[in-house]
Amino acid sequence: MDKVLEKKRLNEFLSKVSKGKELIAPVKKGTLRFEVVTAFADICLEGRPLFPIKKFFSPSKQDLLSLNLAKKDKPYDEVKVKFKPRIIFGARLCDFNGLLRLDKFFLSKEYRDDYYKLARENTLLFAINCVPTPSKYCFCESMSLERYYDLMFHDLGDKYYVEAGTVRGKSLINELRDYDFTMPAITCDKKLDKKDLAKYYDDVAWSKENDKCLSCGKCTAHCTTCLCFDVNDELAPDLQKGKRFKEWDSCQFLNFTLVAGGAVFRKERLPRFKHRIYHKLQYFREKFGMDMCTGCGRCIEACPRLIDFTEVINKLK
C-alpha cells in the first residue's frame, strides 16, 4: 500500500523532508537545469533538463590533491570532501538508473572514488514518473530499467501517487494518506531494436550516420553515464601552490587516445563513434550484465547534427 499527496501540499512535504538538506530539482531560470533549489516557485517539472545529474556525483572539474611545492617531503595533501545531505527531486528513472551504472566504476571493491561514494550515500532519490515521456528522444522503454529510487511521484492531476522504493523512502511518507493504485509503466514512441552488435562492427550504416559528426563531445557531456576523465596538475603564478584535479574528458576527442610521442590510436571519428556506442551496448554488458545506456536520448537531443545511434542499430540487418 502506498501513499497519496495533494499537489498543493508538495512544497510543504518537500520542505519538511529536506530540512537540514539541500534540495536539488529541475529549476527553470532560462535553461532548465538541475540546481539547488532556493525558491520552490523555481521548480519546473515540465520537460527534463538536458544536462543530467552526474555533476552532483562527479563534478566536471574536481580537485584531488592540493600541492605545495615548498613542502619538499610532502608536497601533496588530500582534498577533503564534505557533503551536506541532499535530496534530488524531479529526476527520472533513466537518471537514477544511470547511477546504478556508474556505481560499477566508482564503487567497485578494488577502486573506489571517495567523492562519488560520499555523494551517493548522502543523496536521497525522488523520481517523477514519465507519463507522458518528457522528450521525443526518450527510448528507455527498450532499456529494461530497474525501479531504482527512494520515492517515485506519479502525477494524478490534483495529487501525486507516491511509491517508496526503499526503506528510507518509506519512512519519509508514513504520515501520508494510503492510496491504492498501480504505478503505470513508461511507454516510449521511440524504440531501440536491440541486437548482438558484435556482428555489425563493419556495417556501413555506422559511417553513414557518423559522417555528420563534428567531434564536439556534446554526446558524452550530456550522457547520463559518461564519466571518462583526465587528470592534470595546475600551478598558481607563484609556482609553489597548486592542485591536481580530474576533469571530464570525451572519447570523441582526437587526443583521447594520444600517447607519448604523438601517436593516436583512434584517429578517425568513426572508430570513436563506434567505441562509444559499443561501450554502452556491448562492452559494458559483457562485464556487468546490463547496458550502460539508460535510454534517456540526451546524446541525440544534444547533438548539433542530431546523430541518432538508435536509427543506425534499428536499420542493421
Binding site for other proteins (CB under 8 A): 64-65, 67, 69, 72-76, 78, 105-106, 108, 110-114, 201, 228-233, 235, 239, 242, 244, 246, 249, 251, 256-261, 263, 265-266, 271, 274-275, 278-279, 282-284, 286-287
We find the least distance from the C-beta atom of residue 44 to other proteins, in angstroms, to be 33
Q: Which is nearer to other proteins, 81 or 185 (CB)?
A: 81
Q: Which is nearer to other proteins, 46 or 196 (CB)?
A: 196
Check whether the bond before 132 is cis (ω within 30° of 0).
yes
Q: Which is nearer to other proteins, 1 or 239 (CB)?
A: 239
Q: Which is nearer to other proteins, 8 or 74 (CB)?
A: 74
> Which residues are within 8 A (CB) of 18 and not within 5 positions of it... i.e. 6 or more apart?
86, 87
CA–CA distance, 310 with 314 (Å, rounded to integer): 6
We find the least distance from the C-beta atom of residue 51 to other proteins, in angstroms, to be 20
We find the least distance from the C-beta atom of residue 69 to other proteins, in angstroms, to be 6
We find the least distance from the C-beta atom of residue 153 to other proteins, in angstroms, to be 33
CA–CA distance, 184 with 182 (Å, rounded to integer): 6
We find the least distance from the C-beta atom of residue 83 to other proteins, in angstroms, to be 14
C-alpha distances in Å from residue 81, one per residue of 55, 60, 65, 123, 275? 15, 15, 11, 15, 33
Q: Which is nearer to other proteins, 30 or 261 (CB)?
A: 261
Is 234:225 a contact under the CB 8 Å cutoff? no
- What's the Rg (C-alpha) of the chain? 21
Q: Which residues of 179-196 are buried (b: 16+ CB within 10 A; e: fewer)?
A: beeeeeebebebebeeee
